[in-house]
A and B are shown apart, each in its own frame.
Chain A
Amino acid sequence: MNINFAQEVPLSWYLILSAVLFSLGVVGFLIKRNLITVFMSIELMLNGVNLSFVTFAQQWHAVKGQIFVFFVMMVAAAEAAVGLAIIIAVFRVRATLDVDRIDRMKL
């Protein structure tokens, strides 16, 4: 297909960017030891997915994609609130934010 690179950007590039962001989020989840940083990686993942949704909304000129992003943002906000509250509660008990130390159900 003909892409006029002067004025257009192929949507697949956006999608690739979104996939890369997602993967970086997963990598962050795997290698980070601080609980808060792990949580931030989760947010990165969510954002990557949001980008993909917006791209597809543009592809098919459907507002549904953006609606989805809207709701994802809402839920991410709520999740962030509750998740950080949990982190604070865990920190109170364990006095550590090290993911490898928080490995027992028994407190």
Chain B
Amino acid sequence: MNVVPLWIIPIFPFAGFLINGILGGRLPKWLVTTVALLAPLAACLAVISNTFGFFGVVPVPSFAPRVETCPLPWINVPALHVDFSFVLDQLSLVMLLVVTGVGFLIHVYSVGYMSDDEGYARYFSYLNLFLFFMTVLVLAGNALVMFVGWEGVGLASYLLIGFYFQKKSAADAGKKAFIVNRIGDFGFLIAMFLLVANFGTLTFTEIAAKLGPIGIAPGWTGGVVTVIGLCLLLGAAGKSAQLPLYIWLPDAMEGPTPVSALIHAATMVTAGVYMVARTHVIFDHSPFALGVVATVGAATALFAATIALVQNDIKRVLAYSTISQLGYMFLGCGVAAYSAAIFHLMTHAFFKALLFLAAGSVIHGLGGEQDLRKMGGLWRKLPVTFAVTTVGVLAIAGIYPFAGFFSKDAILYAVFEHGINGKILYSVGLLTALLTAFYMARLWYMAFMGKSRSEEVHAHESPVSMLGPLVILALLSICGGWIGIERFGAFLAPSVGARVAETGGWRFLIPGTQYALSLETVLSIIAVLVALEGWKIADKFYRSKPSRPAQWAAAMPSGYKLLANKYFVDEFYGATVVKPLLGFSNYILGWVAEVGIVGGAAWLIGGVATFAGAILQRWQSGNLRSYAAWLAAGAAAVLLFLLVPWPTVLASLPAIHLGLAGH
């Protein structure tokens, strides 16, 4: 079949954005919906056709990446040459399938969820805009095009978080997201500058060629490569909500729930992970940067999981869970297991989107209630939602054979094998897995089981347009991991590199038999046991003795308060960064600019006019003699001007001066 050009993939969402954005207010609703759904569907179909084309062009197993460059040059100066180029290789293919596939499902869901909203067309235009920029980001062949997509998804995120802009908290959350993203973008920019300065190019393949495989060209190890890697990490931390730039993600829950599902669970926040995987050659050459990535990821995972333990808003729990899972992905990248991280990215997209959409279904069914303490007993009233949520919770907890198990295990296995530090990080990851299982089960219990605590008696199930994507995502959450890390890693190897297993592979003898289990299997079993343990603890807290959480909270009041207030990080940032900045800006704008410059200019102009007026006023005295004097002066001036031969006088001035000086 003919291969679809790559630029088709972003162009459909962009067209959808333009049509719905400019004309949406005047078009009938069904037309808006059609345009909005057609865009991601077309993009998805384009990607799928490219997939087949991909496989059909060259036989398995070596695939040549497809590069498409726009004939128009972008930057073409001796120091730097950058084109508009799209690259489709294994990594971007996987990412595109996730983005467009999940994106399309969420678009369908949004039709039902946002059907009553008056900003319907605006919502879908923003959503299509986001999809456009995300595909640009994924398809980018060089860092500059990726940066365009990077900034663009930040913009779309701002627009969508602040979608209910009349609400101050939503507008503030949008601003917060954009500003914190900006801080990360600063890191990305510095990294780009360093890349240009050291490599003279921003194209990923050229950088990879210059760096070469590890071991060759030892001059490119550590040093500037570490700095570039750390700057890139800063950018990724801003976009993917890692420590210390995660603060925008919980506030971003002010946006509509499908937005949270698409942007803040499945696609935008994974852009950071994607970027790290895309520039993996740089990280491979700097063990220090990799270590920092892993540490940041592990710390974030644990940190966010502890906060999620005590949150009462269903979306906040999911938000912190997202941050935690992103920490897992960074942990995977930090031990150079990029394919494991991407694998987890894919499965996470499935079950996190599922969980968010299910939460949206619950909120929709309860008429807007988001507080877990006011939910309960919904398994009877929202059966389909209950079923899919159960699937999602099992997946995220990492229970076999759901999708989360395979991916999380792959990461933990890779981490464990990464030397001494790896063992420490592994234990952190394991602890996080326990906490993850606990708080997700907590959510499950509080929302669906037990007696109903909500005042809403007419809780109803959602329409089919909302349930359909839920079911599809549930199916993907079940079987999404079955591809297995070996095949997945082998598929991705040409683009992200293969992970070299470090140890020879321990084997555990089962006493009493001849069977020996590999380390991987043992670790998997441990992980599942840990998850089940977490579930059991949640059961003890929230089902068998519902007063136990309150008792524990009362027993550790300060600890509870610390967690419930998210470790006071927002307040800390507010006091150290925001307040001084605002104060300084107010000073500059209010005093220096307003009073000093503007006021000073006004005062100056007024003063000059008054002063000149005062002088001129005294000149017009009415006194005949002074008038006569000025007349004489004027006449003298005219005579002097006309009768004195100025050229010769001026030429002879130096002579006069010298003559006088001589005397």
A interface residues, Cβ below 8 angstroms from B: 26, 29-31, 38, 99-100, 102-105
- Contact partner of B624 (CB less than 8 A), chosen from A26, A102, A105, is A102
B625 touches A30 (CB 8 A): yes
Which residue of B has the minimal Cβ distance to A105?
Answer: B622
| B628 close to chain A: CB less than 8 A | yes
- Contact partner of A100 (CB less than 8 A), chosen from B623, B629, B632, is B623
Known A-B contacts: A38-B624, A100-B625, A103-B624. Give 17 more (CB < 8 A): A26-B628, A26-B632, A29-B625, A29-B628, A30-B625, A30-B628, A30-B629, A30-B632, A31-B625, A99-B624, A99-B625, A100-B624, A103-B621, A103-B622, A103-B623, A104-B622, A105-B622
**Most A CB within 10 A of own CB, among B621, B622, B623, B625:** B625
Q: Inside 8 A of B622's CB, which chain A residues have their CB?
A: 103-105
With A and B bound together, what is the CA distance between A30 and B635 in angstroms? 14
Q: Inside 8 A of B628's CB, which chain A residues have their CB?
A: 26, 29-30
B interface residues, Cβ below 8 angstroms from A: 621-625, 628-629, 632
Q: Inside 8 A of A102's CB, which chain B residues have their CB?
A: 624
With A and B bound together, what is the CA distance between A103 and B628 in angstroms? 13
Can you identify 19 A-B contacts, CB atoms within 8 angstroms? A26-B628, A26-B632, A29-B625, A29-B628, A29-B632, A30-B628, A30-B629, A30-B632, A31-B625, A99-B624, A99-B625, A100-B623, A100-B624, A102-B624, A103-B621, A103-B622, A103-B623, A104-B622, A105-B622
A70 CB to closest chain B CB, in angstroms? 25
In order of increasing CB-CB distance, the 8 nearest A-B pairs are: A103-B622, A99-B624, A103-B623, A29-B628, A26-B632, A30-B628, A104-B622, A30-B629
With A and B bound together, what is the CA distance between A40 and B564 in angstroms? 104
A12 CB to closest chain B CB, in angstroms? 15
Q: Inside 8 A of B629's CB, which chain A residues have their CB?
A: 30
A46 CB to closest chain B CB, in angstroms? 15
Which residue of A has the minimal Cβ distance to B623?
Answer: A103
Q: Inside 8 A of A26's CB, which chain B residues have their CB?
A: 628, 632
- Interface secondary structure of B, over-half rule: helix
With A and B bound together, what is the CA distance between A90 and B312 in angstroms? 100
With A and B bound together, what is the CA distance between A105 and B628 in angstroms? 17
Q: Inside 8 A of B625's CB, which chain A residues have their CB?
A: 29-31, 99-100
A67 CB to closest chain B CB, in angstroms? 25
B592 CB to closest chain A CB, in angstroms? 49
With A and B bound together, what is the CA distance between A29 and B631 in angstroms? 11
A106 CB to closest chain B CB, in angstroms? 10
Q: Inside 8 A of A30's CB, which chain B residues have their CB?
A: 625, 628-629, 632
Which residue of A has the minimal Cβ distance to B632?
Answer: A26
Q: Inside 8 A of A99's CB, which chain B residues have their CB?
A: 624-625
With A and B bound together, what is the CA distance between A62 and B624 in angstroms? 39
B618 CB to closest chain A CB, in angstroms? 13
With A and B bound together, what is the CA distance between A102 and B622 in angstroms? 8
Q: Inside 8 A of A104's CB, which chain B residues have their CB?
A: 622
Which residue of A has the minimal Cβ distance to B628?
Answer: A29
With A and B bound together, what is the CA distance between A29 and B623 in angstroms? 13
With A and B bound together, what is the CA distance between A30 and B625 in angstroms? 6
Q: Inside 8 A of A103's CB, which chain B residues have their CB?
A: 621-624
Which residue of B has the minimal Cβ distance to A32?
Answer: B625
Q: Inside 8 A of B632's CB, which chain A residues have their CB?
A: 26, 29-30
With A and B bound together, what is the CA distance between A105 and B624 in angstroms? 12
With A and B bound together, what is the CA distance between A104 and B632 in angstroms? 22
B299 CB to closest chain A CB, in angstroms? 89
B633 CB to closest chain A CB, in angstroms? 11
With A and B bound together, what is the CA distance between A105 and B621 in angstroms? 11
With A and B bound together, what is the CA distance between A99 and B632 in angstroms? 17
With A and B bound together, what is the CA distance between A67 and B632 in angstroms? 27
B638 CB to closest chain A CB, in angstroms? 14
Which residue of B has the minimal Cβ distance to A38?
Answer: B624
Q: Inside 8 A of B624's CB, which chain A residues have their CB?
A: 38, 99-100, 102-103
With A and B bound together, what is the CA distance between A101 and B639 in angstroms? 31
A34 CB to closest chain B CB, in angstroms? 12
A93 CB to closest chain B CB, in angstroms? 15
B445 CB to closest chain A CB, in angstroms? 99
A27 CB to closest chain B CB, in angstroms? 9
With A and B bound together, what is the CA distance between A97 and B632 in angstroms? 23
B640 CB to closest chain A CB, in angstroms? 15
With A and B bound together, what is the CA distance between A100 and B621 in angstroms? 10
